[in-house]
Structure 1
Amino acid sequence: MPTNRRQFLQASFAVGASLLLSERAKASSESDLEEKVKRQRALYTLRLASPYPIYQSEFIPHMHIEFKSLVERFTNGKVYVDIHHNGVLGSGRELMAAVTRGQVEAILISVSNLSRAAPALDILNIPFWASANQAFLNLICSPQWQSMVIDPINQQGKLTVLIHHIVGARTLTSTKHFNRLINLPEKLEGVVLRVPASKVLHHFYNMTPANVVDVPWAKVAKMARTDHIDVMDPSVIGLFAGRDKLRHQIGHVSLIESVPDAWVTVANQKWLNNLSNKIKLEIQEAGLQTFRTHVAQFEQRQQRCKRALMALGAKIYHLNEDEKQDWQQRFGHHNAQWNDIKRELLGSTQAFQQLVDATQQRSSDN
């Protein structure tokens, strides 16, 4: 290629790149200005804290942008949603403390990490009754769930559940260092198993031969990298979404489908109740509409995360029927060892059975 032509093309590419960057900077500046104007015009600010990055919404069902857009539209700009994403305000138990103390107005958190502030939610962590996506969807849309779990949480006066997030069932996943398949309970003999802050999950895993350790979510990737844990239990989405590039530390993913790795977006109830009834209802309606959008998309996100983990070298294993039966017979919700927990969280074993029945009943909302 003649020198002058090559120089011309290089100059053209440079100009094109410069124009593209200029357009992006202009768009970003306009967006920043628009957000500033919205914030100034709003009567209230809802700070939403999350461990997950906004820019991975194609994989992670956090629904932050959808919720922000709907809240601001439904309240006609009276409420501005200020998203603090990617763990800048912490994760797990840090976020639980922040929202209960009113340091932020809302958070996205797993049910397991929220269970100490809202113990009734921990009923989900009794294994092998609500782990399938459709069963979990049936349950959270049922009047039984509303009356037995959500209403008691509301009556505590601390938190209001705005959105349920369907993330798929928990797994038993080995780290790259450990790199063994956990398809049967005896494979946990002597294994260091990381468990989140859920009393019910601790009870479940302590029934196995594993060495159970409680590790905060933000530290799991480091513990996996440094060979301090062997196995963890997040869902496929949770493994992909984990902080500090957790997805690069995955060995074998065993889909035991024990319990739903459920997430919730919750609001500080005192802040919510200080709003006018109209605005409060508009925020709750925004949460409901966000949930409906989420329901139409969560299966796609699960599949994207599964493909992404496999592309990074993870091996995903589906249990056969004999293996499933082994887990369920030893640890399933029908076993008497769960009765005290059912009574503690719901008042009776009969109430728990009503929730089990709800998993089989589709509602008009799903």
Structure 2
Amino acid sequence: MFATRTPQGSGGNRREFIRLVRNYGFTAVALTVGGGLLTEEAVAQTAREEQEREKAAKSIMTMAVEYSLQQERALPQMQLNLKDNIQNFSRGEVYVRLQPPGSLGVGSPLVAKVQQNVVQTGIVSISNFSPYAPAVDLINIPYWANTNQKYVNLVSSKAWRDEVHPRVNANGFEVLTYIVYDPRSVATRKGFGKVIKTPADMRGMKFRIPSSQALAQIYSLCGANPTPVAWGETATAIREGVADGLDPTPGGLLAFGFKDMLHSVTLTQQVEDAQVYFCNLNWLKEQSSSARDAIMAGSETTFLQNLAAVPAARAYTADQMTRAGVQFHTPTDDEMKQWVEACGAQRPEWDDFKKKFAGDIKVFEKLREAAETRSKFYVSDV
């Protein structure tokens, strides 16, 4: 059954969920669901505890997300972890108020709300963050920071924080933490008729992409016809054949109900399909120094918890997708060589992107070295 924004099950269960949210608030219901017991008594108790925390807090941090707690089994974005960690590190000074997933927008519109301080913090993909903070689109240049470990090496490095984060700050944001899922893939819809093994198989393919200049160039170099489609419209585009394929991580494909629409998933690992928690920079500056330190400490702890959750999420995704009949293809060494040759970061077509997003080629090479240098953090690779 597809993941939904309310607990799985009958319409009656969904109505009960909505009633509880109306009576006790979304945060209390979400926390109770996270604890595994959704009864009115449990929700009421949680609501009382949350009201006490919120009343005692000096600062309220509203957090908007795109995904439901049920989807976290495949996509470990750790929203409850981040809430608890920030509140605990701040010793109650900061209260994190959750919002229903998608209620304050998804993708780039959610980024805009954080920039305007309508919402204090949110989480979106690097690709959807990039229109408002273009420097992070460096991640979407293929085959240089494309594995989980290289990506973690990069974003935890001094070079990344020195070169990229000031550019993010200049657009009114502070990065809280990066979230790892797994690299992007190349998935085909049912009826497309073939498994994509090499870039040659993509020639003429109508391929859905998010709002990323870099991703558009990847698939153009591979011979496809990349078309930006809003995430909320993507399922319809795949189902109706408006698009022949798309490129999220397998966990994203499962979490958003694509498993029964797809024929195959090829683990091309062109770029990391990562997410980023970010907040409004001016709001953060207005907090006390102790609150700022707590927010960053809670965010780093959440980062560690996310890294530990990646293997289980991957195993669950593979099991569920395979049961649904989706074919997985892991490129051979020769096939992977063709992908790198077709669109990899070494190609001259990427020089303008490197200059635009990194400032100059020397800075990009500095970042490449950081991606290749093992950090103190370990994460499982595909």
Please report the TM-score for the alignment, with normalisation by the length of structure 2.
Answer: 0.86
Give the Cα separation in 1 of the matches to 2:351 and 2:144: 14
**Residue type of the alignment partner of 2:315:** Q
Per mean C-alpha deviation after superposition, the further-off stretch among 36-45 and 121-130 is 36-45
Cα distance in structure 1, aligned partners of 2:43 and 2:71: 18
> Bigger radius of gyration, 1 or 2?
1
TM-aligned CA deviation for residue 299 of structure 1: 2.0
Match of 2:208 among 194, 208, 222: 194
Which residue does the alignment assign to 1:136?
A: 151
Q: Is 2:309 the counterpart of 1:294?
A: no
Residue of structure 2 aligned with 1:213, choices 227, 252, 257: 227
Distance across 2 between alignment mates of 1:23 and 1:39: 22
Q: Conserved in 1, the CA contact under 8 Å of 2:222 and 2:342?
A: no
What residue in structure 2 maps to residue 185 of structure 1?
199
Q: Distance in 1 between matches of 2:324 and 2:100?
A: 25
Q: Which residue of 2 aligns with 1:270?
A: 282
Q: Is the 8 A contact 1:196 1:216 kept in 2?
A: yes
Letter in 2 for 1:30: Q
Q: Identify the match of residue 319 of structure 2 among 284, 298, 307.
A: 307
Deviations 1:192-212 (A, max 9, x none): 100110011112222232122
Equivalents in 2 of 1:105, 1:166: separation in Å? 22
Amino acid at match of 2:201: K
In the alignment, residue 358 of structure 1 is paired with which amino acid?
A
In 2, the alpha carbon distance for the partners of 1:304 and 1:179 equals: 26
Counterpart selection for 2:46 from 28, 31, 39: 31
Cα offset for 1:365? 4.1
Contact 1:66 1:290 in 2 (8 A): yes
2:27 aligns with none
**3-state SS of paired residue (1:167):** coil
Which letter does structure 1 place at the counterpart of 2:372? Answer: Q
For 2:242 and 2:229, locate their aligned partners in 1 and report how far apart those are by CA, in whole Å.
Answer: 10
Q: SS of the residue aligned with 1:248?
A: coil
SS of the aligned residue for 2:329 comes to strand
Give the Cα separation in 2 of the matches to 1:274 and 1:134.
35
Show the 5 A alignment for 1:36-75. 36-75=51-90
Per the alignment, residue 325 of structure 1 pairs with 337
TM-fit CA distance, 1:85: 3.9
Shift of 1:128: 0.8
Could you tell me which amino acid in structure 2 is paired with residue 184 of structure 1? T
Displacement after TM superposition at 1:217 (Å): 1.2
Match status 1:283 vs 2:283: no
Q: 1:179 & 1:157 partners in 2: Cα distance? A: 44
Deviations 1:51-78 (A, max 9, x none): 1002333322111111111111111212
Equivalence for 1:127? 142
Letter in 2 for 1:230: D
Matched to 2:276, the amino acid is V
Q: Does 1:80 align with 2:62?
A: no
| Alignment partner, residue 236 of structure 1 | 250
Aligned to 2:118: 103
Shift of 1:157: 5.0
Deviation at 1:152, TM superposition (A): 2.6
Q: Deviations over 1:157-194 (max 9, x none)?
A: 51111010111111110112425311111211221100
Is 1:203 paired with 2:217? yes
Using the TM superposition, give the Cα deviation of residue 123 of structure 1 relative to its aligned residue in structure 2, in angstroms: 0.5
- Measure, in 1, the Cα distance between the counterparts of 2:70 and 2:253: 17
For 2:118, what is the secondary structure of its paired residue?
Answer: coil
Letter in 2 for 1:296: A
Partner of 1:114: 129
Matched AA of 2:134: P
Residue aligned with 2:372, SS: coil
Distance 1:190 1:250, change over 3 A: same
Does the 8 A contact of 2:143 with 2:345 survive in 1? yes
CA deviation after TM superposition for structure 1 residue 237, in Å: 1.7
Structure 1 residue ranges, 4+ long, deviating more than 3 angstroms after superposition: none
Distance 1:224 1:189 in 2: 18
Task: Kindly provide the CA deviation profile for residues 1-50 of structure 1, in whole angstroms up to 9, marking residues without a partner as x.
Answer: xxxxxxxxxxxxxxxxxxxxx99321122112212222222222111111
Which amino acid in structure 1 is aligned with residue 212 of structure 2? S
**Aligned AA for 2:121?**
A
Q: CA deviation at 1:256?
A: 0.7
From 99, 106, 123, the equivalent of 1:91 is 106
Matched, 1:252 2:270: no
**Residue type matched to 1:306 in 2?**
A
- Count of aligned pairs: 342
- Report Cα offsets for 1:118-141 as digits up to 9, x if no partner: 111000111111111111111112
Q: Of 317, 328, 350, which residue of structure 2 is paired with 1:338?
A: 350
Q: Distance in 1 between matches of 2:250 and 2:198?
A: 19
Contact 2:249 2:273 survives alignment (8 Å): yes
| 1:93/1:216 contact within 8 Å kept | no
